[in-house]
Amino acid sequence: MHFHTQNVHFPAKEKAKEISKTKPIYQTSAFTFSDFDDMEQYFNGDKSYLYTRMGNPNSDDLGRGTAELEGGEAGVASASGLSAILAGVLACAKSGDHIIATQDLYGGTWSLFSSDLQDFGIEVSFVNMEDRAEIEGAVKENTKLLYSESITNPLLRVEDIEGLAQIASSFNIKLMIDNTFATPYLIRPHELGADIVAHSATKYIGGHSDVTAGVVTGSAELMQKAKAKVSMLGSNIGPFDAWLGVRGLKTLSLRMEKQCANAKALAKALGGAAGVKKVFYPSAASARGNGAVVTIELEDDRDVMAFSKHLDWVKVVPTLAGLETSVTYPVATSHRPLPEETREMLGVTKQMIRISVGIEDERDIIEVFEQALKSRGE
């Protein structure tokens, strides 16, 4: 070889002699074949990978691993939580169809449903998912999907998934649940009758605030459709991000156990604290715990901005999860897309703060919030 060729084609091809303890990162855009006949084997179903947009061992690991924990037949990883939600919806609905969604949705999902899905020709009705008559009254001949969250954002209402599954079954429509806040450590929606489960794996699946990812799980048939949507819409996840997601997934139970315990202690402490009007925290989400998010509403005479300036080591962020305790302001971040009248109807107020509880010592977490509550606008 001349230098320019040698510079590109090193090292020489050889079979691997070492086997890595962890899954290697397949940081490649495409896979190679011995000849054209060998490449044709992919299209015949005898080869697994061709082009990373269409599939990669790392993204398959993240989808498969999440599905196994959720109790789904198959899973598909994507570039974000919203892309996973979109893939799941499009696996069930197409132009001319109708879906029903809970009215107390994460703001990003609300925007996707209220605006972007309309561009796909999919109609969406928002209902009170605690009112069976309202749900049933919203069903149309072209309704294909019921959609809700296992633990809602930011009011932390625990959804009656079994009840929704019964309604969906009676009308022969699918049920999809966003399980981001609960994770399969607390709630496994497939076991309660959900057909599709979605995650913003950016949150507790990844767990370290260093990856943006999504996962959707369900039957092999539905996930085949979802994977096709991820591929054709170009919303696939990169190999390294998928590898990070798998790394995080392996410590999910340890992190959630600690974070749920800390959140329970914080919710109890803030329940009697001066300046706190109301604490939102589930009481019976699951036998393992009630989640790692605590939402508080400050008294009307408390300055929310002053509170945010006195949080010491607690991070102020636009998201949740991760190892460190953090806070966000729902009306300005997660629920900013919702019209003010909709936020007021739901009870998402300007005095509301969402706390994502980390793995620190619970005594330190409680102390920093008690100190911040003493600020009165100075």
Output the DSSP codes for 39-60.
HHHHHTTS-S-SBGGG--HHHH
- Over residues 341-365, mean pLDDT: 95
Residue 1 is encoded by which pair of tokens? 């070889």
Helix (H) or strand (E) holding 156: none
Q: Which residues are catalytic?
A: 53, 106, 178, 203
| CA proximity to 176, closest of 191, 194, 192 | 194
- Over residues 279-300, mean pLDDT: 97
Residue type, 226: A
3-state helix, strand, coil in the chain (%, to 5): 40, 15, 45
- The number of angstroms, rounded, from the C-alpha of 231 to the middle of its chain's C-alpha atoms is 19
Count of all residues that appear for the chain in the document:
378
Tell me the CA distances in angstroms from 290 to 4, 86, 122, 221, 265, one per residue in order.
Answer: 60, 27, 34, 32, 11
Helix (H) or strand (E) holding 348: none
Please give the pLDDT value at position 377: 56
- Over residues 241-253, mean pLDDT: 96
Residue 133 pLDDT level (bands cut at 50, 70, 90): very high
Please give the pLDDT value at position 13: 66
**pTM of the model as a whole:** 0.94
108-127 residue pLDDT tens = 999 999 999 999 999 999 99
> Distance (Å, rounded) from C-alpha 366 to C-alpha 371?
9
Q: Which residues, 6+ apart, have CB-to-CB distance to 95 below 8 Å?
A: 120, 121, 122
- Domains by residue range for the chain, with CATH: 36-249 (3.40.640.10), 253-373 (3.90.1150.10)
Number of H helices, E strands in the chain: 15, 12
Q: Which residues, 6+ apart, have CB-to-CB distance to 260 below 8 Å?
A: 186, 288, 289, 290, 291, 292
Residue 337 has pLDDT above 90, yes or no: no
Residue 232 is encoded by which pair of tokens? 């054709």
> Distance (Å, rounded) from C-alpha 234 to C-alpha 125?
28
187-199 residue pLDDT tens = 999 999 999 999 9
Residue 183 is encoded by which pair of tokens? 């994770």
Please give the pLDDT value at position 339: 87
Q: What percent of the chain clears pLDDT 90, i.e. is strictly above it? A: 88
The answer to whether 184 and 288 are in contact (CB under 8 A) is no
Residue 253 has pLDDT above 70, yes or no: yes
> Distance (Å, rounded) from C-alpha 270 to C-alpha 286?
22
Q: Which residues, 6+ apart, have CB-to-CB distance to 64 below 8 Å?
A: 74, 75
Residue 92 has pLDDT above 90, yes or no: yes
Minimum mean pLDDT range among 16-30, 58-72, 204-218: 16-30
Average pLDDT over the chain, rounded to an integer: 95
- Over residues 16-37, mean pLDDT: 90
